[in-house]
Amino acid sequence: MPNDPAPGVTVSIVRTGRAREFPLPAYATPASAGVDLRAAEERVLQPGERALVPTGIRIALPAGYEAQVRPRSGLALKHGIVLPNSPGTIDADYRGEIQVILQNLGDAPFSVRPGDRIAQMIVAPVCRVGWLEADALDETERGPGGFGSTGT
């Protein structure tokens, strides 16, 4: 499926090596939040193994944006393939190749072939924080409760 005709932000992209053979990262459906990232090299991940898998693409995000690399749910469910640092952040000033850390939590070797969809990437605006140091914070109903304190 082609990308939306009116993107929210334009991002320059360079494809190298095998990535030139594959389509540009695209949204799978009109309502998809992320675009698919494809492997540019072959890898076999043994159970428990991690590997850095190149995508063959480099991007230039505009200032004020980031890209998040996230796992594909089907790979996690069917094969135990996860991204241990998910979501991985690509900063607006990074110009290197996007690479994806894959880990095989399954019980069988998993083969990654060039062109396989291995992750998804979401481009989003970044809100910069200005800190205001205080002696105390306002009270809320929840208070300091966390880690399941609001129920199951």
pLDDT digits (tens, 9 = 90+) for 8-51: 899 999 999 999 999 999 999 999 999 999 999 999 999 999 99
Read off the pTM.
0.86
pLDDT 10s digits, 86-123: 999 999 999 999 999 999 999 999 999 999 999 999 99
List all residues 6 or more positions away from 133 whose beta carbon is below 8 Å from its beta carbon: none
Please tell us whether the domain made up of 12-125 is placed in CATH 2.70.40.10: yes
Q: What are the backbone angles phi and psi of residue 145, rounded to the nearest 5°?
A: -65, 135
Q: Which helix (H) or strand (E) holds 77?
A: helix 73-79
Q: Which two tokens stand for residue 44?
A: 């076999």
Alpha carbons 90 and 95: distance in angstroms, whole number:
9
Q: What is the model's pLDDT at position 77?
A: 95
